[in-house]
A and B are shown apart, each in its own frame.
Chain A
Amino acid sequence: MSQMRQLPAEPTCPGCEEPLERADLFCGACGYDLSALSQAPVDHPTVAITVPPTAGGAEPGPELPPAAIRYDDPPRAAPASGIDDFELAAPGLVPPRPEAEPQPVDPRSVVPEPTPPSGTVAKVCVACRTGRIDEDGYCENCGHAQPRERDHMEQELDAVAAVSDRGLRHHRNEDSFAVSAAALPDGSPAVVAIVCDGVSSATRPDEASAAAATAANEALLESLPRGTHPQQAMHEAIVAAAESVNSLATDPAHAMDHDPNRHTNAPACTLVGAIVASGLLVVGWVGDSRVYWVPDDRTAPPARLTEDDSWAAQMVAAGLMNEAEAYADERAHAITGWLGADAYELEPHTASFKPDRPGVVVVCTDGLWNYAEAAHEMAQAAPADAAARPLHCAQVLVGHALDGGGHDNVTVAVLPFAMPEQGAGSAYGTA
Chain B
Amino acid sequence: MANFSKSRVPQFSVDVYQNEYLPEGGREVNAIVTVTSTGGGTSGAAALLTGAGASPAYIPGGQPPGGPGAAVVIMVDCSGSMEYPPAKMRNAREATAAAVDTLRDGVTFAVVGGTHQAKEVYPGNGRLATANQVTRAQAKEALYRLTAGGGTAISTWLRLADQLLAQAHAPIRHGIVLTDGRNEHESPKHLQNALEACAGRFTCDARGVGTDWDVKEVTGIASALLGTADIVADPGGLAADFTQMMEKVMGKEVADVALRLWTPVGVEIKFVKQVAPSVEDLTGRRTEAGPRAGDYPTGSWGDESRDYHVCVRVPEAGIGQEMLAARVSLVRPDPSGGTPQTLSQGLVRAVWTDDVAASTSINPQVAHYTGQAELAHVIQQGLNARKSGDFDGATAKLGRAVQLAAASGNADTAKLLSKVVEVVDATTGTVRLKAKVAEADEMTLETRSTKTVRVKK
Binding site for B on A (CB under 8 A): 21-25, 43, 45, 127-128, 131, 136, 138-145, 166-172, 200, 256, 258, 260-261, 407
Tell me whether B202 is interfacial, beta carbon within 8 Å.
no
B288 nearest CB across to chain A (Å): 17
Task: State in angstroms the CA–CA spacing of A407 and B354 once bound together.
Answer: 9
B377 nearest CB across to chain A (Å): 25
Checking B15, B21, B265, B361 against A141 with a beta-carbon cut-off of 8 angstroms, the contacting residue is B265
Task: State in angstroms the CA–CA spacing of A142 and B315 once bound together.
Answer: 10
Checking A127, A136, A167, A260 against B347 with a beta-carbon cut-off of 8 angstroms, the contacting residue is A136
Instruction: Work out how many contacts link A and B, with CB atoms closer than 8 A.
Output: 84
Q: Are A145 and B323 in contact (CB under 8 A)?
A: yes
Per-residue 0/1 for B299-325: is the Cβ within 8 Å of any A Cβ (1 yes, 0 no)?
000000000000000100111111111
**Top 6 nearest A-B pairs by Cβ distance?**
A143-B264, A145-B322, A138-B324, A143-B324, A143-B323, A171-B322
Tell me whether B41 is interfacial, beta carbon within 8 Å.
no
A139 nearest CB across to chain B (Å): 7
The residues of B that contact A407 with a CB separation of less than 8 Å are 354
The residues of A that contact B449 with a CB separation of less than 8 Å are none
Task: State in angstroms the CA–CA spacing of A204 and B327 once bound together.
Answer: 22
Q: Are A260 and B264 in contact (CB under 8 A)?
A: no
Q: Are B355 and A142 in contact (CB under 8 A)?
A: no
Tell me whether B352 is interfacial, beta carbon within 8 Å.
yes
Task: State in angstroms the CA–CA spacing of A22 and B320 once bound together.
Answer: 9
Chain A residue at minimum C-beta to C-beta distance from B322 = A145
Given the known interface contacts A45-B355, A169-B354, A260-B363, the answer about A23 and B321 at a Cβ–Cβ threshold of 8 Å is yes
A38 nearest CB across to chain B (Å): 16
Chain A residue at minimum C-beta to C-beta distance from B363 = A260
**Which interface residue of A22, A128, A131, A140 has the most chain B CB atoms within 10 A?**
A140
Checking B265, B320, B347 against A169 with a beta-carbon cut-off of 8 angstroms, the contacting residue is B320
Per-residue 0/1 for B149-189: is the Cβ within 8 Å of any A Cβ (1 yes, 0 no)?
00000000000000000000000000000000000000000
Per-residue 0/1 for B183-216: is the Cβ within 8 Å of any A Cβ (1 yes, 0 no)?
0000000000000000000000000000000000
Q: Are B17 and A171 in contact (CB under 8 A)?
A: no
Checking A128, A145, A261 against B361 with a beta-carbon cut-off of 8 angstroms, the contacting residue is A261
Task: State in angstroms the CA–CA spacing of A283 and B424 once bound together.
Answer: 67
Q: Can you pick out 24 interface pairs between chain A and chain B where the beta carbons lie within 8 Å of each other?
A: A23-B318, A23-B319, A25-B318, A127-B323, A138-B323, A139-B264, A139-B324, A140-B264, A141-B264, A142-B264, A143-B265, A143-B267, A143-B325, A144-B317, A145-B321, A145-B322, A145-B324, A167-B320, A171-B322, A171-B352, A256-B15, A258-B15, A258-B17, A260-B361
Task: State in angstroms the CA–CA spacing of A29 and B193 once bound together.
Answer: 51
The residues of B that contact A22 with a CB separation of less than 8 Å are 320
Checking B21, B267, B320 against A23 with a beta-carbon cut-off of 8 angstroms, the contacting residue is B320
Tell me whether B289 is interfacial, beta carbon within 8 Å.
no
Tell me whether B351 is interfacial, beta carbon within 8 Å.
yes
A164 nearest CB across to chain B (Å): 15
Task: State in angstroms the CA–CA spacing of A225 and B391 once bound together.
Answer: 86
Q: Are B16 and A258 in contact (CB under 8 A)?
A: yes
Chain A residue at minimum C-beta to C-beta distance from B347 = A136
Given the known interface contacts A144-B321, A144-B322, A166-B320, the answer about A260 and B265 at a Cβ–Cβ threshold of 8 Å is no
Q: Are A142 and B265 in contact (CB under 8 A)?
A: yes
The residues of B that contact A25 with a CB separation of less than 8 Å are 318
Tell me whether B39 is interfacial, beta carbon within 8 Å.
no
Per-residue 0/1 for B354-369: is the Cβ within 8 Å of any A Cβ (1 yes, 0 no)?
1101100101100000
Q: Are A260 and B18 in contact (CB under 8 A)?
A: yes
Task: State in angstroms the CA–CA spacing of A360 and B266 once bound together.
Answer: 50
Q: Are A171 and B320 in contact (CB under 8 A)?
A: yes
Q: Are A136 and B320 in contact (CB under 8 A)?
A: no
Checking A127, A140, A171, A261 against B19 with a beta-carbon cut-off of 8 angstroms, the contacting residue is A261
Tell me whether B263 is interfacial, beta carbon within 8 Å.
yes
Chain B residue at minimum C-beta to C-beta distance from A259 = B20
Tell me whether B410 is interfacial, beta carbon within 8 Å.
no
Q: Are A260 and B323 in contact (CB under 8 A)?
A: no
Tell me whether B243 is interfacial, beta carbon within 8 Å.
no
Tell me whether B353 is interfacial, beta carbon within 8 Å.
yes
Q: Are A261 and B264 in contact (CB under 8 A)?
A: no
The residues of A that contact B354 with a CB separation of less than 8 Å are 43, 169, 407
Q: Are B324 and A200 in contact (CB under 8 A)?
A: no
The residues of B that contact A200 with a CB separation of less than 8 Å are 355
Chain B residue at minimum C-beta to C-beta distance from A25 = B318
Given the known interface contacts A260-B18, A260-B363, A261-B358, the answer about A171 and B265 at a Cβ–Cβ threshold of 8 Å is no
Task: State in angstroms the CA–CA spacing of A141 and B364 once bound together.
Answer: 30
Checking B16, B314, B353 against A171 with a beta-carbon cut-off of 8 angstroms, the contacting residue is B353
Per-residue 0/1 for B60-74: is the Cβ within 8 Å of any A Cβ (1 yes, 0 no)?
000000000000000
The residues of B that contact A45 with a CB separation of less than 8 Å are 355
B454 nearest CB across to chain A (Å): 15
Task: State in angstroms the CA–CA spacing of A128 and B266 once bound together.
Answer: 11
Task: State in angstroms the CA–CA spacing of A426 and B312 once bound together.
Answer: 65
Interface residues of B in 247-273 (CB under 8 A from A): 263-267
Given the known interface contacts A142-B266, A171-B352, the answer about A261 and B323 at a Cβ–Cβ threshold of 8 Å is no
Task: State in angstroms the CA–CA spacing of A138 and B350 once bound together.
Answer: 12
**Which interface residue of B320, B323, B327 has the most chain A CB atoms within 10 A?**
B320
Task: State in angstroms the CA–CA spacing of A258 and B364 once bound together.
Answer: 11
B31 nearest CB across to chain A (Å): 11
The residues of A that contact B265 with a CB separation of less than 8 Å are 128, 131, 141-143
The residues of A that contact B21 with a CB separation of less than 8 Å are 261
Chain B residue at minimum C-beta to C-beta distance from A256 = B15
Task: State in angstroms the CA–CA spacing of A200 and B355 once bound together.
Answer: 10
Task: State in angstroms the CA–CA spacing of A127 and B352 once bound together.
Answer: 15
The residues of B that contact A136 with a CB separation of less than 8 Å are 324, 327, 347
Q: Are B361 and A144 in contact (CB under 8 A)?
A: no
17 other A-B residue contacts (CB within 8 Å) besides A138-B323, A260-B17: A22-B320, A23-B320, A136-B347, A141-B264, A142-B264, A142-B323, A143-B263, A144-B264, A144-B322, A144-B324, A166-B320, A168-B320, A172-B322, A200-B355, A258-B16, A260-B363, A261-B357
The residues of A that contact B324 with a CB separation of less than 8 Å are 136, 138-139, 143-145
Chain A residue at minimum C-beta to C-beta distance from B355 = A45
Given the known interface contacts A22-B320, A25-B318, A144-B322, the answer about A171 and B351 at a Cβ–Cβ threshold of 8 Å is yes
**Which interface residue of B19, B322, B358 has the most chain A CB atoms within 10 A?**
B322
The residues of A that contact B358 with a CB separation of less than 8 Å are 261
The residues of B that contact A256 with a CB separation of less than 8 Å are 15
A140 nearest CB across to chain B (Å): 8
Task: State in angstroms the CA–CA spacing of A261 and B351 once bound together.
Answer: 13
A253 nearest CB across to chain B (Å): 16
Q: Are A260 and B364 in contact (CB under 8 A)?
A: yes
Chain A residue at minimum C-beta to C-beta distance from B321 = A23
B24 nearest CB across to chain A (Å): 10
Chain A residue at minimum C-beta to C-beta distance from B266 = A142
The residues of A that contact B364 with a CB separation of less than 8 Å are 260
Task: State in angstroms the CA–CA spacing of A127 and B350 once bound together.
Answer: 15
A423 nearest CB across to chain B (Å): 53
Chain A residue at minimum C-beta to C-beta distance from B13 = A256
Interface residues of B in 319-336 (CB under 8 A from A): 319-325, 327
The residues of B that contact A127 with a CB separation of less than 8 Å are 323
Q: Are A171 and B264 in contact (CB under 8 A)?
A: no
B13 nearest CB across to chain A (Å): 10
Chain A residue at minimum C-beta to C-beta distance from B361 = A261
The residues of A that contact B314 with a CB separation of less than 8 Å are 143
The residues of B that contact A21 with a CB separation of less than 8 Å are 321
Chain A residue at minimum C-beta to C-beta distance from B366 = A260
Q: Are B325 and A170 in contact (CB under 8 A)?
A: no
B294 nearest CB across to chain A (Å): 15
Task: State in angstroms the CA–CA spacing of A131 and B266 once bound together.
Answer: 13
Chain A residue at minimum C-beta to C-beta distance from B24 = A169
The residues of A that contact B320 with a CB separation of less than 8 Å are 22-23, 166-171
Per-residue 0/1 for B73-88: is the Cβ within 8 Å of any A Cβ (1 yes, 0 no)?
0000000000000000
The residues of B that contact A166 with a CB separation of less than 8 Å are 320
B339 nearest CB across to chain A (Å): 17
